[in-house]
């Protein structure tokens, strides 16, 4: 018997075997009550064997500094825990130029817990990013905080079908 899992998307679900690696990216675009647009991106990534969350974030910061025009790191890496599962997270802020226009970002890189199928080696990460071409306002910040603080990782194992 193959192990199948219900793969959940906003639009619905489908059955599939667990992928070797999920590289999907969710790009969620919103408008606040004043019609200001902002984006929340959700990326899946992974650490290298033996790499700490801090080392992963430093590597990503160096990569962005060397590949994004006008890149600036803003502030320090903040270590914290988020959500009901109290997952380790490092939060960073940065800005860069996209097509000559400034983009501001706040990123929360979350270390996912062990899971027998999704994260057996404990290397998988999920990165939540709040991005905007303008300064973030309170509504946008609160929405982002609500998302990261309500994130609950998958804990149910794949069932035989």
- Whether the predicted pLDDT of 160 surpasses 60: no
What are residue 137's DSSP bridge partners? Answer: none
Determine, yes or no, domain membership for 51: yes
Report the alpha-carbon distance of residue 44 to residue 125 in Å, rounded. Answer: 6
Is residue 71 one of the residues assigned to a domain? Answer: yes
Domain that holds residue 88: 21-152
Looking at residue 20, what is its pLDDT? Answer: 78
Tens digit of pLDDT for each residue in 111-144? 999 988 889 999 999 999 999 999 999 999 999 9
Which domain CATH number covers 138?
A: 3.40.1000.10
Please indicate, yes or no, if residue 127 is contained in any of the structural domains.
Answer: yes
Does residue 127 contact residue 64 with C-beta atoms inside 8 Å? no
Task: Establish if 6 belongs to a structural domain.
Answer: no
Span between the terminal Cα atoms of the chain, in Å? 7
Beta-strand pair 101-111/78-82: unpaired
- Does a structural domain hold residue 5? no
Does pLDDT of 36 surpass 60?
yes
Q: How far apart are CA 8 and CA 104, in angstroms?
A: 29
Q: Which residues contact 86 (CB under 8 A, 6 or more apart)?
A: none
More confident residue, 75 or 154: 75
Assess if residue 55 is contained within a domain.
yes
Whether 4 is in a domain gets the answer no
CA distance 114 to 110: 13
Q: What tokens were used for 95? A: 């800005």
Looking at the domain assignment, is residue 66 inside a domain?
Answer: yes
Query: How many domains is the chain partitioned into structurally?
Result: 1
Please give the structure tokens belonging to residue 80: 């914290």
The pLDDT, as a whole number, for residue 9 is 80
């Amino acid at each position: 018997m193959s192990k199948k899992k219900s793969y959940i998307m906003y639009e619905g679900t489908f059955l599939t075997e667990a992928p070797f690696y999920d590289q999907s990216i969710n790009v969620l675009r919103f408008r606040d009550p004043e019609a200001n647009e902002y984006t929340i991106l959700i990326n899946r990534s992974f650490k290298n064997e033996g790499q700490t969350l801090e080392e992963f974030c430093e590597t990503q910061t160096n990569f962005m500094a060397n590949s994004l025009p006008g890149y600036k790191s803003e502030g320090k890496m903040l270590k914290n825990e988020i959500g009901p599962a109290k997952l380790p997270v490092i939060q960073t802020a940065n800005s860069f130029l996209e097509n000559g226009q400034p983009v501001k970002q706040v990123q929360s890189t979350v270390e996912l817990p062990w899971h027998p199928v999704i994260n057996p080696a404990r290397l998988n990460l999920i990165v939540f990013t709040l991005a905007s071409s303008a300064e973030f306002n309170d509504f946008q910040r609160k929405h982002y905080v609500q998302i990261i603080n309500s994130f609950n990782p998958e804990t149910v194992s794949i069932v035989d079908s």
